[in-house]
């Protein structure tokens, strides 16, 4: 089950999407994957939403992977259908018009780590654990596991997908798998402060930055630079940078 709530914060509206099956570590059934992709897409299409927060219910898991019952019952046709659902959920994070932040509050395994890798930022509680155990079940890690080399480098990505072993939050931080590790005792308060910092950016500039960040990951350098010039020009169409720079200079003069 997916829960989606809109939260008004000082900097604007945040969509909080929760994978809600804590008794089973918020695992990703086919129906949950469909609901997740739809919830992220709908949130990104809402012009009032400034950011999306994705998390798992409870204190034990972000996402504990896919159901073993499902993985153990697939045939070639249904395997393709199921992995395509995982890809579509991952793609929704990357295609979302606004930043998507993973609030990683525990186990983050398999498809859960693929989804986290497709978020723009990953903030983890101190007890979070990460892993890609599929190879131990006779299954290669696929689809958006391809994001892992971009995050942690080829050697560490191979270590994750070839050994199936887990890493704790501090090692994930040192590898670049997450942007920050926050003590469990202060996780919610500090996480919300990070979201408020993200909301300080001008809304349209943030949407442009999201488009560019995705392009930088996928396109050749020359194309990325050309697109960046176009986005810079377009940002001045309504005069918002001029107004913001003037306000900043006026505030600085008063100080």
pLDDT tens sequence across 217-232? 999 999 999 999 999 9
| pLDDT attached to residue 144 | 97
Does the annotation mark 204 as catalytic? no
Q: How far apart are CA 104 and CA 217, in angstroms?
A: 23
Domain residue spans of the chain: 2-198, 203-254
Beta bridge partner(s), residue 101: 53, 121
Q: How far apart are CA 63 and CA 209, in angstroms?
A: 27
- HSE-up (13 A, CA, CB side) for residue 253: 6
| Superfamily (CATH H level) for 2-198 | 2-enoyl-CoA Hydratase; Chain A, domain 1 (3.90.226.10)
| pLDDT attached to residue 149 | 97
Does the annotation mark 233 as catalytic? no
Q: Which of 8, 31, 114, 223 is catalytic?
A: 114
> CB neighbours of 112 closer than 8 A, spacing ≥ 6?
26, 28, 56, 61, 62, 63, 64, 65
- How many CB atoms sit inside 10 A of residue 27's CB? 24
Place of tokens 């295609």: 95
Q: 0.85 cut: is pTM over it?
A: yes
10 Å CB burial of residue 135 (0-12, 13-18, 19+) is: middle
Q: Which of 59, 134, 202, 240 is catalytic?
A: 134
Of 142, 138, 63, whose CA–CA distance to 102 is shortest?
Answer: 63
Q: How far apart are CA 158 and CA 177, in angstroms?
A: 13
Q: What is the pLDDT of residues 189-222, one digit of tens each?
A: 999 999 999 999 999 999 999 999 999 999 999 9
């Amino acid at each position: 089950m997916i829960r989606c709530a809109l939260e008004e914060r000082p900097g604007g509206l945040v969509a909080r999407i929760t994978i809600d099956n804590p008794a089973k570590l918020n695992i990703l059934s086919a129906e949950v994957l469909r609901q997740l992709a739809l919830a992220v897409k709908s949130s990104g299409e809402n012009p009032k939403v400034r950011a999306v927060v994705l998390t798992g219910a409870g204190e034990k898991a972000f996402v504990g992977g896919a159901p073993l019952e499902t993985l153990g019952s697939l045939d070639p046709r249904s395997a393709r259908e199921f992995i395509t659902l995982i890809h579509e959920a991952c793609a929704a994070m990357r295609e979302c018009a606004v930043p998507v932040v993973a609030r990683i509050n525990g186990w983050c395994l398999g498809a859960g780590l693929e989804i986290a890798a497709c978020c723009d930022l990953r903030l983890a509680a101190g007890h979070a654990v990460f892993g890609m155990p599929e190879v131990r079940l006779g299954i290669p890690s696929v689809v958006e596991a391809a994001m892992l080399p971009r995050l942690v480098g080829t050697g560490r990505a191979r270590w994750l997908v070839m050994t199936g072993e887990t890493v704790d939050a501090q090692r994930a931080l040192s590898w670049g798998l997450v942007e920050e590790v926050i003590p469990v005792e202060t996780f919610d308060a500090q996480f919300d402060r990070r979201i408020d910092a993200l909301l300080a950016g001008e809304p349209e500039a943030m949407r442009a930055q999201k488009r560019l960040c995705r392009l930088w990951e996928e396109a050749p350098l020359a194309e990325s630079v050309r697109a960046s010039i176009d986005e810079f020009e377009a940002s001045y169409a309504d005069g918002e940078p001029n107004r913001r720079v003037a306000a900043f200079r006026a505030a600085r003069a008063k100080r």
